[in-house]
Structure 1
Amino acid sequence: MRAGYRNLLLGPVDRTGRCAATAELTVEVTGYDRQPVVHPRRLALARSAAGWRVEREEGAGGPPPLWDLGAVRAEAGARCLVLGVDAGGAPASAGPAPAGPAPAGLAAVGDRAAAAVEALWGTAWAGRLLLELPATREQFARLVADDRPGWSGMAAVTVAAPGAPLNAPADRILLNPETFAGLSDFGRQVVVTHEAAHVATRADTRAWTPLWLSEGAADWTGYHDSGRTARQIAPELARDVAAGRLPAALPEDAAFTAGGEGLAQVYEQAWLACDLIARRFGPQRLVALYRAVGAAAPGPDRQAWLDGLLRDRLGEGLAEFTRHWLAEVRALAA
């Protein structure tokens, strides 16, 4: 790692040679960060004959660096680096640390995820993953910078490094230790591969990309070649269909809100839509559609824009595709 301060702003120096200061702490994880990760800091400095020294340092806004939460362990794979907060060294204020996955087991999961994503999405991304594993759910909320209850059920999330430009690709996978620990080995692999797909496709993902496409494509990547049936991958949606509760249209972006009602079914609907595209037209047509959506900003009529893209890339419009998708949804009850 390379670290240093920039934009140092000194306050008045008192009689003892001390002063308060603000600065940006910049950190680069060699081989993983393409630009410095920036953390605003408050410093207490003391001047002596040897020069200035830092007596105290603390965060001044934004997500903290991982080591502010406790001692950090590292595990490097061939294509993945895992940084995990030592549960035994976590601050007492962080609460009791549950038994969670160790970094040693996660590097191999990350390596497999990177390879699986590259096989489907190509090499136009960094080709490596950085995973951060806090010790507690509360620490996860601090790193995500969102303490809403809905986040507690998320196993992982992909984020851009703190201080990155607004258009910077997301490049970090944050794991929620308690939720992630409750998954099977297969479930952990699916989750990390899903998030790795977000890392690989972020350069092609825009604010206008429908979430059913971005989240569905990530889930499709995670489950690709898993041997699971549609009912096994979409059990909640299958139960809804069997009970007569069917969606009327592809899910809107608002339906993907963390903690929202029926969130599992929404993700399963999105997976089924992308799986349908890959099965009917081939995986590369799904990849090409995804990139085409990111490359062409919509006009005032987003539905008409998407309809045109589907016609251009798949040979059928939004209404026809939705009918095929609804037929797949109904088939889950068979």
Structure 2
Amino acid sequence: MLAERARTLEARSGLPVAEAAYRNLVLAAGGGPDRLTAAADLAVRIAGYDDHPVVYPRRIELAAAADGWRVEREESADGPPALWDFGAVRPAPGTHSLVLASADGPDPAGLVVVGDRAVPAVEEVWGDAWPGRLLLELPATEEQFARLLEGDPAGWADMAAVTVAAPGAPRNTPADRVLVNPEAYGRLSGFGRQVVVTHEATHVATRADTRAWTPMWLSEGVADWTAYRDSGRSPQQIAPELARDVAAGRLPAELPADRDFAAGATGIAQAYEQSWLACELIARRNGPQRLVAFYRAVGADDGQGEDREHRTDRLMRAELGVGLADFTRLWLDEVAALKD
């Protein structure tokens, strides 16, 4: 019965499924002789995008029927819901991207175009060692977007998109999803939408080079730097909130901490802008490929339990010829120059 349900997932949900199967089934009494509950892992591989199935823990309610058992209800058992739990999905394929959109949500056609532009822009900087394809999920509402992230909608209201690692996939596989907030994304200009999606595509491309010890100012900074690269925008245009702070005499004392990037954090816009400026400084002083090399060195070096700041300092000296303290002083000069 569940095997047949897995086979019909594409027809029921609209997902372009290459493989679907329920695994690790555990049955339990469901409140009466004609009812059962089941815990199972639903493994789904999206055609053309997932090299490994994405695993969704599911809770299934079963009821006895004349010909056996039928599924009365299926929902997420652990973690966020799946996009198709909100209703049918409308797939919109492009040359380099696939948008999985809620059927009752915004038209995904424009997002496909933006995704197709983002992939080659990222490859110009980061090469083609990654799969060079982008999978985006577009729910119908901001509330659904927050639920896909297991977050409070108020905390995600200004976040246009976020990249998440697909559950159950082996590390360093191209199974990342870019979740798009239809309301925040919809408020952006065409240029802003391109920046957001190219930023997220950079996270997908650099997944294999990003570790828990990678400072967020670096990971978010390279994503923004890649997205704004060759845009022709001035630093004041790219970092308007930071420029306003500088004009008002409010200057940072150090590079952004990881906590500064938390959804809903005060000053989160400035944290992203400060990070962009730090990576722009590296690229301008040392060249784009040294920025890429430094980023990859940070991700490749585990430091054997070494303090993260010490590791960053050591690798910065090796790759860029400047220590973290001196780099921070150079960066603070760049921040101060935004008032000019």
Normalising by structure 2, we get a TM-score of 0.89
Are the aligned partners of 2:87 and 2:102 in contact in 1 as well (CA < 8 Å)?
A: yes
- In structure 2, the residue matched to 1:193 is 198
Match of 1:314 among 309, 316, 320: 320
CA distance in 2, matches of 1:167, 1:81: 20
- Which runs of 5 or more residues in structure 1 are unaligned? 89-99
Are the aligned partners of 2:51 and 2:174 in contact in 1 as well (CA < 8 Å)?
A: no
Are the aligned partners of 2:242 and 2:270 in contact in 1 as well (CA < 8 Å)?
A: yes
- In structure 2, the residue matched to 1:236 is 241
* Cα gap change, 1:23 to 1:241, in 2 (>3 Å): same
- In structure 1, the residue matched to 2:89 is 72
Q: Does 1:32 pair with 2:49?
A: yes
SS at 1:11's partner residue? strand
- In structure 2, the residue matched to 1:92 is none
Are the aligned partners of 1:169 and 1:203 in contact in 2 as well (CA < 8 Å)?
A: no
SS at 1:139's partner residue? helix
Aligned letter for 2:270? Q
SS at 1:87's partner residue? coil
Aligned letter for 2:99? V
The 10-residue stretch of structure 1 (51-60 or 311-320) with the greater mean CA deviation from structure 2:
51-60
CA distance in 2, matches of 1:225, 1:184: 18
Aligned letter for 2:83? L
Q: How far does residue 45 in structure 1 lie from its aligned partner after superposition?
A: 3.4
* Cα gap change, 1:15 to 1:173, in 2 (>3 Å): closer
Q: How far does residue 166 in structure 1 lie from its aligned partner after superposition?
A: 6.6
* Cα gap change, 1:285 to 1:142, in 2 (>3 Å): same
CA distance in 2, matches of 1:18, 1:45: 6
CA distance in 2, matches of 1:211, 1:13: 46
Amino-acid identity (%): 66
Partner deviation per Cα, 1:122-149 (whole Å, 9 max, x = no partner): 1111210000001111101111112263
Normalising by structure 1, we get a TM-score of 0.90
SS at 1:225's partner residue? coil
Q: How far does residue 51 in structure 1 lie from its aligned partner after superposition?
A: 5.4
- Which runs of 5 or more residues in structure 2 are unaligned? 1-16
- In structure 1, the residue matched to 2:8 is none
Q: How far does residue 168 in structure 1 lie from its aligned partner after superposition?
A: 5.8
Alignment root-mean-square deviation, CA: 2.1
CA distance in 2, matches of 1:11, 1:244: 64
SS at 1:9's partner residue? strand
- In structure 2, the residue matched to 1:331 is 337
Match of 2:187 among 176, 182, 185: 182
Q: How far does residue 180 in structure 1 lie from its aligned partner after superposition?
A: 0.6
SS at 1:331's partner residue? helix
Are the aligned partners of 2:169 and 2:175 in contact in 1 as well (CA < 8 Å)?
A: no
SS at 2:131's partner residue? coil
Aligned letter for 1:59? S
Matches within 5 A, 1:141-156: 141-147=146-152, 149-156=154-161
Match of 2:265 among 260, 279, 285: 260
SS at 1:153's partner residue? coil
Aligned letter for 2:121? A
Q: Does 1:86 pair with 2:103?
A: yes
- In structure 1, the residue matched to 2:6 is none
Match of 1:292 among 297, 300, 307: 297
SS at 2:339's partner residue? coil
Partner deviation per Cα, 1:25-45 (whole Å, 9 max, x = no partner): 111101111211112222233
